[in-house]
Amino acid sequence: MIIKNNNTFHLQGRNISYIMAVDSFGNLIHIHYGRKLHDKDYDKTNTKYVNWAAYDENNITLENTQQEYPSYGHTDLRNPAYTVKNVDGNSISQLKYKDYTIKENYIPEIEGMPSLFIGNKSAQTLEITLEDKISGVEVVLSYSVFDDYDVILRNTRIHNISDSTIEIDSAYSANLDIAKGNYDLIYFSGGWGREREFCRSEIQQGAKIDISNARGGSGHTLNPFIMVSEHNADEDKGNVYGFSLIYSGNHSSMIECDQYGNIRVQQGINPFMFKWTLEKGESFVTPQCVMCYSENGIGGLSRELNDVYRTNLCRSKWADKDRPIFINNWEATYFDFNETKIKEIAREATNLGMELFVLDDGWFGQRNDDHAGLGDWVANPERLPNGIKGLSERIEAMGIKFGLWFEPEMVNPDSDLYRAHPDWAISVPNRISSLSRNQLILDLSRDDVCDYIITAVSDVLKSANIEYVKWDMNRPMTDMPYEGYNHKYTLGFYKIMDAITGAFPNILFEGCSGGGGRFDAGVLAYIPQIWTSDNSDAAARLKIQYATSMGYPVSAISAHVTAVPNHQNGRITSLKMRADTAYAGVFGYELDITKMSDTELAEIKKQVETDKKLRTLMRTGDFYRILSPYETNYCSWEMVSKDKKEVFFYSAKIFSVANSHDIRIKLKGLDAEAKYMDTVTGEVYGGDELMYYGVEPKYDMHDFAPVLQINERMINYRNNKNII
């Protein structure tokens, strides 16, 4: 609901209020974002004069004022939400309120970029127009709110209403000024094989922190999702603000704490190497920022954000469907395969109950290693004499579906495509192009390049019954030819994704970028799942998947059971540990099952059967994190169905400890008045017992010892007087 009361705008979600007001001088002032408040005129603007600070002709000091979209100059010395270079060369701006519009049952689509959609929910959008008459700039702030969710959707449109050309040097999607308090910054850092590591630090006075990436995509190193939490907030309690950018390019989350302890949070396109020219009458639109608030800690915020992403972000039909259990041949064969070997793996997978076979890198062109073939999307007849169509038909005849790997944004210098079109690769004049993994990046800012990719990939997909595509992107962008290039590239990527996923709605697409290097909400808008990390080690995955779940649904986390010793770090974990960890995601395998023992194959068959029972719950339930592998020697979590009838509990002891004592773990989110039965042991527990007394998992005496428990509700006291 959006309420206009005199000069006050009040947005109400299910449990939240977002309030702003126009002061008597035309400044748009932030009032409140947090727990839901009753409606009244909250015009309590706090613009004030301070005699030792900069002040304007009205004795207003904006440096001490919470603002909605601050500009540079005119008494605010903090980081601006946008900067525009005027025709006279300066970047001074002063935005004043002009007008507003409220649109019912409406969420704006953002031109050329993904965004949340309204679906079958009720939502409203407020658009507030601010204007700088001197520079001829008009800024439209968009705020959307759902009736059933606790999120605010924000983005910004900048119009050039002058008679001259202007230059945008920075433009954040959203700005939030938070009044003085004790707050922490939570962000997700890392690198290849260590994606989205949980990081938390106190925001101290005078700090200016830029959580940003300039590697060409959202990146392995810093994710476009952050949280600002009260210092005492944990998984279950405390005020937490989340900021998630629906964008796959260079991003920035700027956090600034001023001399009074007030905090400014901004999120949007990274200003580094960004510049955008607007001619008279032209506009620039920023990506959508999803702001989420919860008074129920990190867990409450992530469950809220996960719900809205599962229902109102991804447009794929697979977003609401259970995903097939698949096997990928990459770690089984790498480039060393032929049609016979592929069919052997697929046949064994069918016998084990798997539902999809995925042919990974090496099926096309002269792709015998990393040095050649990218860009030539034609089957290699030496490896696949019957082509993709013939192979897919033979595999489908076994009773299993067929999928294929692509890396369409890349090209090898040793390829027919590069020899025909060397100018299609990103390059800087008079500079030698940088290689990574022996490949260059195609120039997605060009329509002809985008059209080639769309046509080449579509031709393959139309040539056979392909039911899954793994979309990879295996290198950073190190040499951008001009400022603003990365945004144009990102728009080209979205153009391609929109065209191909729209033309093939029945295909299940999965994202990948050197593992989890482009794990962001922008990708999830087109495809329902992303390969989370190239580090498939079950022990390492405890941290990777645990932290990833804070900002993204478990149903988006692709996880595989792979061979040991692990190919990324050499660690050996049990087959049970590998499967139990992978259940918390989109389940699959990536190893040579033709070389496994009968005992191992029997265990895999049972794992496949288990996941078929669990996958609906893992896709639709509420995820609770209990013990953090970042803070303890354990990793514990659970998934609870919306009706609280099913509970899937997982706990792993990371390192074996001599003479250790048992730990008691208290579950969360259950029906306290119900009885639950462990479907493995048959033991019955009360919901109150599980939550308030807890359970003592019996770990084996070795490192990386998992315990798995699937509970089903048997009796609800409120509905049945019979008590077991």
- Pick the catalytic residue: 177, 307, 520, 534? 534
CA distances 331 to 200, 377, 564, 606, Å, are 34, 22, 11, 22
Task: Report the pLDDT value the prediction gives residue 414, as an integer from 0 to 100.
Answer: 97
Asked if 370 contacts 438 with a C-beta cutoff of 8 angstroms, the reply is yes
Closest to 665 (Cα-Cα) out of 700, 628, 704, 615? 628
Task: Report the pLDDT value the prediction gives residue 720, as an integer from 0 to 100.
Answer: 36
- Pick the catalytic residue: 307, 360, 472, 580? 472
Asked if 240 contacts 228 with a C-beta cutoff of 8 angstroms, the reply is yes
Strand locations in 147-250 (E): 151-160, 166-178, 183-189, 197-202, 208-213, 225-230, 240-246
For residue 472, indicate whether it is catalytic: yes
For residue 376, indicate whether it is catalytic: no
Task: Report the pLDDT value the prediction gives residue 48, as an integer from 0 to 100.
Answer: 59
Residue 363 per-residue DSSP state? S
Angle at 14 between CA 11 and CA 18, to 5 degrees: 25
Q: Which residues contact 468 (CB under 8 A, 6 or more apart)?
A: 324, 326, 356, 358, 401, 402, 403, 404, 507, 508, 509, 510
Closest to 334 (Cα-Cα) out of 563, 645, 660? 563
Structure confidence by residue, pLDDT tens digits, 447-466: 999 999 999 999 999 999 99
CA distances 613 to 83, 152, 203, 648, 676, Å, are 53, 35, 44, 11, 17
CA dihedral sign, ordered 256, 257, 260, 264: positive
Task: Report the pLDDT value the prediction gives residue 52, as an integer from 0 to 100.
Answer: 60
Q: How many helices (H) and strands (E) does the chain have?
A: 12, 36
Closest to 219 (Cα-Cα) out of 483, 473, 555? 473
- For the chain, residues with pLDDT lower than 50 are 717-724
Structure confidence by residue, pLDDT tens digits, 177-190: 998 889 999 999 99
**111, 117, 119, 122: CA torsion to nearest 10:** -110
Residues 179, 333: Cα–Cα separation, whole Å: 56
Query: At 652, which helix (H) or strand (E)?
Result: strand 646-653
pTM: 0.95
Structure confidence by residue, pLDDT tens digits, 189-237: 999 999 999 999 999 999 999 999 999 999 899 999 999 999 999 999 9
Residues 428, 624: Cα–Cα separation, whole Å: 48
Asked if 375 contacts 442 with a C-beta cutoff of 8 angstroms, the reply is yes
- Max Cα-Cα span within the chain: 84
Residues 161, 155: Cα–Cα separation, whole Å: 19
Closest to 259 (Cα-Cα) out of 61, 69, 73? 61
